[in-house]
Structure 1
Amino acid sequence: MEIPLGARFQPFDYDVLKFLFNFVTGRSCVDDEALIHQEDVFGEKEPWELVPSGKKMAYFLTRLKKKAKSMKGSRVQRTVGRKMKGKKPGTWHGQDIGKAVADEHGRFLMGYKRSFLYKNKSEAEQDGKWLLKEFYLSETMIRRVRAEFPIVEERADFVLCRIERKKKDDDEDDDNDEEDDEITLEQGGTNNNLSEAIVSVPVPWIHYWHRRIT
């Protein structure tokens, strides 16, 4: 899908999680995949190699990599870049513990968003200059759809990441999401117990993603 001249692709947090839900359950559509690509964000490519030239940011589906000694735990490998003699790979350093994201009506928990900062002393010009936002579905969401969509078993460890170059005036959490922050739990979602509320919401509540092109 081509974005009209003068427009930009800027989905809300809950839109990003809707797309991830559709992908995990095997229901993503071609137009969505033209704007969000599958890529190994925690592989050999540096962030500036992942974001297309001339673009300020890019969205990627990627599979989390558990560390060898913690296959049953929650520790994830977040190194990035090629291992070369005399040069260490970079690392995505966590900036927060994650922010809960509700649906557009504030009724129930969809997932979470975590912030990371690129750190690499071997790349002085790039060190601390890139941001990563990692979106992932809640465990309640995954459990609810696992029986209905068998493909979830092989896609449950996928997350959706947004990578962007840090602006000069950015602080630790420049989300560029002034509007969508209004529906997160931290900003006063209408239901104080969204993890339970999702149980009463039928699975088909998510339809194919309707983008907001602004």
Structure 2
Amino acid sequence: MDSHDCPLLPVGVRFKPTDPQLLQYLHWKIHGQPYFKRAVLDCDLYGEMEPWEIWLRFGGIDGEHLYFFTKLKRSTNNSGRLSAHINRKVGLANGTWSGENSASPIFATKTDNTIIGYCKRFRYENVQLPERHGEWIMHEYSLHQDSIQQAVDLDYVLCRFKKNERLKRKLQKDLEEQQHSKRRMTT
């Protein structure tokens, strides 16, 4: 049975982790330690599936988040060597995850200023599909260098993935304004 064939969490349980808790899950993943696998799933968010296909496959619910481990994909340079640049293309329709900010540090606690990782916000962009452009938001969590020593697999990040509700509200507001303007013009 695939993970998308059964509910992610038992009925009545909500997964609302803090940023430091998400980094703990990532730490467990890259160090090969056990974790609750139905809370954070494996999915290639930089692969051939479109964001809406991922959302449907894993039972996304509007207003809530899905959490995934995904591997970063490094681009290659002209000599065929891996570069520092990360390829964030998604799907087969020329979409990409576009960074909206620089990585924000995540601290161990409110009183401990030790940086344990970073969070960066991305938005799905695809000008060829204007109805989908900006429809998805993803926060990508990565560990600080000090936390990845002796890791089994360094290329993983943890992503929090959701529909962009703000865009949905903006589109609804724009539609209502257009209808209101048309009514004024006809009267």
Does the aligned pair in 1 maintain the 2:134–2:167 contact within 8 Å?
A: no
Larger strand proportion, structure 1 or 2? 2
Distance 1:166 1:106 in 2: 32
Corresponding residue of 2:163: 165
Number of residue-to-residue matches in the alignment? 154
Map 1:82-93 onto structure 2 (within 5 A): 82=92, 88-93=93-98
Answering whether residue 75 of structure 2 is matched by residue 67 of structure 1, we say yes
Map 1:1-214 onto structure 2 (within 5 A): 2-5=9-12, 7-29=13-35, 32-51=36-55, 52-55=58-61, 56-69=64-77, 71-82=81-92, 88-107=93-112, 108-142=114-148, 145-146=149-150, 152=151, 154-168=152-166
Distance 1:96 1:168 in 2: 17
Q: TM-score, normalised by structure 2?
A: 0.75
Does the aligned pair in 2 maintain the 1:3–1:9 contact within 8 Å?
A: no
Please give the root-mean-square deviation of Cα atoms over the aligned residues, in Å. Answer: 2.0
Q: Percent identity?
A: 28
Distance 1:94 1:115 in 2: 6
Q: Which has the higher contact order (CA 8 A, sep 6+)?
A: 1
Gaps of 5+ in 2: 1-7, 169-187
Distance 2:101 2:82 in 1: 23
Structure 1 window deviating more from structure 2 (43-52 vs 111-120): it is: 43-52
Gaps of 5+ in 1: 83-87, 147-151, 171-214
